[in-house]
Every structure is written in structure tokens, then in C-alpha cells.
A and B are shown apart, each in its own frame.
Chain A
């Protein structure tokens, strides 16, 4: 092969790698757990979706757990899109603080302004390595500043409150449901109850919702 052709082939390979990389990057933009995904869905504290929805999905999670982060980024947006937006199910975040309560307090403080889910999505999107010390006041504040419409003064005040009582109630519900790892989804409805463990794909949630939906 001539020198010119060889150069052309190398250039072609480089451009192909760049184009493929671009496609991969764009593919990651699709859907996603961005805070905008919750626009227009009723929220109350840690609940997302219509209060009278026939199916309840209790999501036992921990903000620093990597599998919870994976579930929040990969599957949760689909759960919201398919089951919560349609009004078939409501999601309740049951955050366990295995590692540290600061994140839970900050998220619950955002929940006081019905912006829990937007804040939680940002916490998972920007999740650092477990127990690496990434959860600083600055980190928590930076995420809060990203939440549209959040009154920062009120949030700062409320995150200093104690949510220990709420955390104890969550722990009690987790114990009763036999939750010993995160993420765990307890899906309940007129047709019964189903428990799903791990960062499962959407089809597992679809099945459980269908099963208990009656």
C-alpha cells in the first residue's frame, strides 16, 4: 500500500474512533436520572407520585452505596417514566444511613420543600467512592444549589434538624420487611407484595408491578 494511502487509513481509523466515542457519549445523555425527570410529578417529602396510586414501591437505599447509585442512574428513570408518571405506582425512598446520616439529613431537608427526588438524583449522579470522605458540607451545598427552586436558606436551616426519628422508623420498616442489603425494592399493591434485591434491570420492576397490581 502506498504511503499516502497508509496515512489516509490511519486518519480514517482515528476519525472512526472519535465518531464512535461521540455516539457513546450521546447515548449516555438519553433519559438518565436528571432532576428534570421529576418535573410535573407530585412529591411530598420522600414520596414521588400520586398518593392514591394503587402500587407502592418502597425503595430501601443508601446514598453512598455503589449498587444504589447504579440503580438510581440506570433503572430508576425508567421506573419513574413507566410506572410513576402514568399514576400506576408511587415511589417512597426509604434511605438507610449505614455509612453516615449527613446525606440523608440533607436530602430530607430538600424533601421539606418537596424537592427530595431532584436532590437525591444529584447525589447519585455525583456519587463518590464509598467512605472516601467526598461528602463534605461543600459537596452537599453544591448539589443543593443545582436544585431548581430550592430555598437555600431554608434548606440550610432544616438540614441541621434531627431526622433521627424518621431514620429509626425507616430502619424499623426495613427490619420488618427483612431488608438486609441495599438497594431493595418492596413492591406492594392489591395483588400482594414482592421484594426485589439489587440493582435490577427495569424488566424485574415491570414484572413486580404487574404482579402486585392486581
Chain B
């Protein structure tokens, strides 16, 4: 049974797992982008390569996957740390991630017209992080309220 209290260890472990998964996927995509290797796509589709080589795969010369790498690393640290501050920062990054992922998914589907399973997995990870991160934040908020009441 997941422990949602006592520093929300179970919830934080889940968030850490999601951030680690996102980090691993981003690391793989960043590596393929920098090395020029074609990402392995399920079903031998070339959607991942099409997206990875499109003009939208970089922002001011920085691979989008590298931005994801940085964001997930920070989200991982936020998941490991206790306290409301870490929970807020984690949700903040996840919210940016979800909004930006929605934009990227729109580009994939309607502009580049290709689907990359790695990108979709990343979208799922960041949405899940936002949902569970928000739960953690609510619990952290009510804990803070109880502590204040006791005083």
C-alpha cells in the first residue's frame, strides 16, 4: 500500500520514478540528436527520426530533448526532497512541461505529421508527474495547515 503520509514517501517515490523515466528517455533522445543516430522506434516506423531531425527539434540551437533532460533532473531532485517548496517547484516544472508538450504534440500531429513513441512516453510521464505532484502539493498544504493549528 502506498504511503501518502509521513512525508509522502510513497508519493515521492512514484514522482521520482516518473522523473527518472522521463530523464532516461530525454537522455536517449538527446544522445541520438547530438550523435545523428536514428532513434529506435517501435514497429520500425521512422516517426522518431522525422521529429528528431525537424526544425522544431532545437530551440536556439539547443536540442529540445536536452531541455527535457534538465527539467526532469530538477523534477527528480524535487521528488527526492521533502517539503512544500520542493513540491511547488516540481509542479511548476511539470506544468511548463505539460503545456510545452501539448504544443509539441500539436506540431507532431499537424505540422510534421509524424508520431514518435518516445515523445509520447515523455508526454505521459510529465502528465502523470503533474497529476501526482498536485496531489502531493495538496497533501503538503494540508499538513502545513494542521501544524499551524496545533501551534
Contact = CB atoms under 8 A, between A and B. Distances in A.
B131 interface: no
Nearest to B102: A20
Interface stretch (A26-34, A102-110, A145-153): A26-34
Interface stretch (B13-21, B23-31, B108-116, B117-125): B108-116
Contacts of B111: 74
B135 interface: no
B145 A1 contact: yes
Given A8-B88, A24-B100, A13 B59 contact: no
B103 A24 contact: yes
B138 interface: yes
Contacts of A15: 92
Interface in B93-151: 95-96, 99-100, 103, 111-114, 137-138, 141-142, 144-145, 148
A23 B100 contact: yes
B56 A30 contact: yes
B58 A30 contact: yes
Contacts of A19: 96
B145 A2 contact: yes
Contacts of A17: 99
Given A8-B88, A9-B137, A23-B100, 6 more contacts: A2-B141, A5-B84, A12-B92, A21-B99, A30-B55, A201-B114
B113 A201 contact: yes
Contact of A203 (B50, B56, B91, B138): B50
B92 A16 contact: yes
A4 to B, nearest CB: 10
A30 B55 CA distance: 6
Given A2-B141, A2-B144, A5-B141, A77 B99 contact: no
A20 B55 contact: no
Given A26-B59, A201-B50, A16 B145 contact: no
A20 B100 contact: yes
Given A2-B145, A201-B112, A202-B50, A32 B55 contact: yes
A16 B96 contact: yes
A12 B88 contact: yes
Contact of B96 (A5, A8, A20): A20
Contacts of A9: 88, 137
Given A20-B103, A201-B112, A202-B50, A12 B91 contact: yes
Nearest to B104: A27
Contacts of A94: none
A78 interface: yes
A23 B114 contact: no
B136 to A, nearest CB: 13
Interface in B30-56: 46, 49-50, 53-56
